[in-house]
Amino acid sequence: MINFSVRLIKILTTKKFRWVKFVPVLLFAALCALFTLRGGSNRFVYLVLFICVYLLDFFIRIAYDIVIRSKDHHIANLRTTVEIENDRIKVMKDHFKTGMFFMTKEYIIQDQYTKPLEDALGETNLTGKNFTGFLGESVNAKQLETLKDYFNMVIERKFDDAMLEDINPIRKFNYIRGAVKKTLTTSFTAVDQYNGEIFILSNIEDITEAALLQEQLWEEEAKRQEQISLLFEVLQIDPMVCNDFIEDTDYEFDKINSMLKDSNISDKETFKEILTDIYQSVHAIKANAIILGLNTFSFHVHGVETKIKSLIELFDISFEDMLKLSGDIENLIKEKDNFSDAVKKIKQFGEDGEKKKNKDVLIDSLKRACRRTSEDLKKKVEFIADDIDDIIIDAMPRRIIKEVLLQLVRNSVYHGIESPGKRIELGKAETGKITLSIKRVNNNVLVRLQDDGKGLDFAKIEERCKKMHIIKKDEVIKDKNKLLQAIFVPGFSTAEKEDIHAGRGIGLNLVRDRIKEINGNIKLQTEQGKGTVFNIFVPMTKLIN
């Protein structure tokens, strides 16, 4: 019934039937006119009644018109406002610097996305396309499933915003699609639509250019610096030391390559160990490069070292990760080849002179490492090698001894020797001393490296141990030896921040492993304010010949 009347009213208010609304009043008027014309005593009353009804109708019409008019005016105002808003939104959308879009819970991109999205994803006309379809080359199938799980968590608002943002697996990721390679950052939030549907408001930003530009600038500057210093360095360095470097680096690279070749990704535990070995080899290469002042090269090695470190932490190492690592190592080898080419060319100028002794090459390398590190740290250090047995050096595993001593010398300069100002203040000679002796003691070779620096800072080591939770915060240390052991733990470092010389906590760990390799052992003596002595014992049986 109600339906019927609504429909009837609708029909009657159309233009065609507008006259219908006059029907009742006309009928009434006709009736009144009839009575008036018929005469009789009541005709005057009918006349008044007719006029009243007419006036009433007239005023109602006026009121109706006023209401309609103000309504039209209001609608016009609203329309203008909406249009202005629309224009603003459009302008905003067109000028948005990041790719913003809504997607359904089936990951379908809705229209009204911002322009940079097309640039970021490398495709146009994205409306109606599935967002996850764009990620096929950037993430593997398993990761994609996890990502979908993540989107579900966003839609279901399973966790608070901060946590959802924190666990976003593609917060920052390398986007690959055909020839397109980019670094993108993303964020996702659930939004309720007025009709109750939930959409994911997504934001994608392309940070490739910024990242790339910075890298390029940095690399170009470094390359320029490197070329100049390489030229000077190669001219200054004894060809034997250069050969030594090339030989040692080749050895480490060969080791890495054979480890990579033999490695089996599926055996995760062994593979992790292999990666740790590779990490140590790369670290040794870095130490060698630093002695020669190959800054860019050492920075690149440092970068690869960082990547391996994160690979070790990552459990699901993919084949792609390994491929990337091999590529990085390949690049380092190329750089090293450039260096050896330069050395070969220069060597041709001075092919005279007799062959240097192993002892001199070793000491030369250590002196150089000492000088490099101390110059960088603005310290004054003298390296003294006074009591060295030539014959023993010839018989020792040259590379291992060199690696170990390099780490220890750098360590002494970094942690042991104080700054010149501080030394004067303490009443010490301005220049610090690092003394090396290698001699035979009974059935052992004793390699002794001594510095006159500040000694091990037990307070700092203890603090660091507590920070790393190696010991408890309230534990009272009676036996200092417990602390001495800690400095050989992987990852241990008292350096405040990580730089190319220290802070990774790999150096002393490498020393311990290398000495173990030749069945040796290491003893430490230290006295606050007076210095530290590293005594390395290597059994004679381990010597060549």
CA distance 52 to 468: 98
Q: In what order do the strands lie in the sheet with 172-177?
A: 99-103, 198-206, 180-192, 172-177
Smallest separation (angstroms) from another protein to the CB of 142: 8
The smaller minimum CB distance to another protein, of residues 147 and 362, is found at 147
Q: Which residues pair with 538 in a beta bridge?
A: 445
Smallest separation (angstroms) from another protein to the CB of 158: 8
Smallest separation (angstroms) from another protein to the CB of 472: 5
The smaller minimum CB distance to another protein, of residues 168 and 494, is found at 168
The smaller minimum CB distance to another protein, of residues 86 and 306, is found at 306
Smallest separation (angstroms) from another protein to the CB of 339: 31
CA distance 101 to 187: 11
Are 495 and 503 in contact, with CB atoms under 8 Å apart? yes
Are 453 and 424 in contact, with CB atoms under 8 Å apart? no
Retrieve residue 245's tokens. 């470097």
The smaller minimum CB distance to another protein, of residues 149 and 209, is found at 149
Kindly report the backbone phi and psi dihedral angles of residue 78, in degrees, each rounded to the nearest multiple of 5, phi listed first. Answer: -60, -45
Smallest separation (angstroms) from another protein to the CB of 349: 48
The smaller minimum CB distance to another protein, of residues 355 and 469, is found at 469
Retrieve residue 462's tokens. 């203890």
The smaller minimum CB distance to another protein, of residues 61 and 148, is found at 148
Are 96 and 116 in contact, with CB atoms under 8 Å apart? yes
Smallest separation (angstroms) from another protein to the CB of 319: 16
CA distance 446 to 65: 112
The smaller minimum CB distance to another protein, of residues 227 and 270, is found at 270
Retrieve residue 60's tokens. 């109602």
Retrieve residue 331's tokens. 């690049």
Angle at 458 between CA 452 and CA 461, to 5 degrees: 115
The smaller minimum CB distance to another protein, of residues 29 and 486, is found at 486
Smallest separation (angstroms) from another protein to the CB of 254: 28
Smallest separation (angstroms) from another protein to the CB of 199: 20
CA distance 385 to 438: 9
Residues that bind another protein (CB under 8 A): 142-143, 146-147, 149-150, 153, 158-159, 167-169, 171, 268-269, 310-311, 313-316, 468-474, 489
Secondary structure element (H or E) that encloses residue 336, with its range: helix 319-347
Retrieve residue 24's tokens. 């009742």
Position 217: which residue type? L
Smallest separation (angstroms) from another protein to the CB of 322: 15
CA distance 356 to 490: 36
Are 189 and 201 in contact, with CB atoms under 8 Å apart? yes
The smaller minimum CB distance to another protein, of residues 38 and 142, is found at 142
